């Protein structure tokens, strides 16, 4: 199911394999085996990627729910066993160089700690903190910080993602008011309203609903939708990023539940602060 969800969110077997830290052939075999067990195709395949079939769309919601439940079970069992484990939630894109530096630094300083990673889609900027699925989240603000402690690790300027053939893609900079008549991608119903408002430029918008970074990019590519993203991220050749002049920066943050006395969290935050400073 984790393999299936990764392919469904990336819409590409190669990117999903990279995300799962595995080669593509066993991933393809696992998905084909799942399709054989279900008795229906989950993906429509093409040379450029894949799209979900109606059966795959139904299974995606069920698979996400199953995996969330499995994660909760794992957290509760580990807590009962008293294991030296820290579960880290990571939002969307794991290609941030700061994240790579942090992983290396933490392994050097805490080699005996069992580190578990929970990759989270864009509908939950707290990465499962409130549900007790993770101990600490590496994510982006702003979001509702009620009951949480949040430390800023870095700030990134924000730009608008457009197709390269869009007339606005030739500009050196844009203002939010110039984008008022455009369709934007949306997050699912129930998403943190502070988070949704920030990525929609502070006002209600209309457009397709997305959950993952790749879904955002595909919405721009296929539908001419536009949306915001931190500057500096690699984009497909068909897309361009134009800086937004009047948009407040996006903050990379570490967040954890207030009052959580787990000493592993404290040491992790100290290491994260140092890693993102360089």
Check whether residue 162 and residue 151 sit in a common domain.
Answer: no
- Phi/psi at 235 (5° precision): -125, 155
CA torsion 191-60-241-47 (nearest 10°) is -170
- Residue 58 has a pLDDT of 94
Check whether residue 63 and residue 30 sit in a common domain.
Answer: yes
- Edge-to-edge order in the sheet of strand 239-243: 227-230, 158-163, 239-243
- At 1-50, the pLDDT tens digits run 989 998 998 888 988 887 776 788 889 999 999 999 999 999 999 887 89
- Asked if residues 254 and 134 have their Cβ atoms less than 8 Å apart, the reply is no
Compute CA distances 9 → 49, 50, 111, 220, 236, whole Å. 12, 10, 32, 15, 16
Helical H segments across 110-257, by residue range:
193-199, 213-223
Q: What is the pTM of this model?
A: 0.70
Q: Whole domain around residue 22: which residue ranges?
A: 1-81
pLDDT bracket for residue 95 (50, 70, 90): low
- Asked if residues 242 and 227 have their Cβ atoms less than 8 Å apart, the reply is no
Check whether residue 149 and residue 254 sit in a common domain.
Answer: yes
Q: Please provide the average confidence, as pLDDT, over all residues in the chain.
A: 88
Q: What is the CATH number of the domain that holds 5?
A: 1.10.10.10
Number of structural domains in the chain: 3
The answer on pLDDT for 248 being more than 70 is yes
Compute CA distances 201 → 158, 177, 228, 229, 246, whole Å. 11, 9, 8, 11, 10
Residues β-bridged to residue 138: 90, 254
How far is it, in rounded angstroms, from Cα 93 to Cα 23?
A: 19
Check whether residue 1 and residue 77 sit in a common domain.
Answer: yes
- CA nearest 161: which of 146, 182, 140, 143? 182
């Amino acid at each position: 199911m984790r393999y299936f969800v990764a392919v469904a969110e990336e819409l590409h077997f190669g990117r999903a394999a990279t995300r799962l830290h595995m080669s593509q052939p066993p991933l393809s075999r696992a998905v084909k085996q799942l399709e054989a067990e279900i008795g229906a195709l989950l993906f429509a395949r093409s040379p450029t990627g894949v799209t979900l079939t109606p059966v795959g769309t139904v299974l995606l919601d069920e698979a996400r729910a199953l995996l969330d439940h499995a994660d909760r079970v794992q957290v509760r069992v580990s807590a009962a066993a008293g294991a030296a484990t820290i579960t880290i939630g990571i939002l969307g894109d794991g290609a941030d160089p700061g994240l790579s530096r942090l992983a290396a630094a933490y392994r050097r300083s805490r080699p005996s700690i069992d580190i578990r990673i929970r990759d989270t889609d864009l509908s939950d900027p707290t990465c499962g903190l409130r549900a007790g699925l993770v101990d600490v989240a590496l994510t982006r603000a702003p979001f509702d910080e009620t009951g949480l402690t949040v430390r800023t690790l870095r700030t990134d300027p924000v730009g608008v993602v457009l197709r390269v053939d869009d007339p606005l893609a030739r500009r050196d900079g844009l203002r939010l008011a110039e984008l008022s008549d455009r369709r934007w991608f949306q997050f699912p119903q129930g998403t943190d309203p502070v988070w949704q408002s920030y990525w929609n430029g502070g006002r209600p918008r209309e457009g397709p609903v997305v959950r993952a970074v790749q879904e955002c990019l595909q919405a721009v590519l296929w539908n001419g939708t536009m949306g915001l993203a931190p500057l500096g991220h690699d984009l497909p050749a068909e897309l361009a990023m134009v800086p937004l002049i009047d948009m407040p920066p996006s903050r990379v943050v570490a967040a954890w539940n207030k009052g959580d006395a787990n000493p592993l969290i404290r040491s992790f935050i100290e290491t994260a602060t140092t890693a993102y400073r360089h």
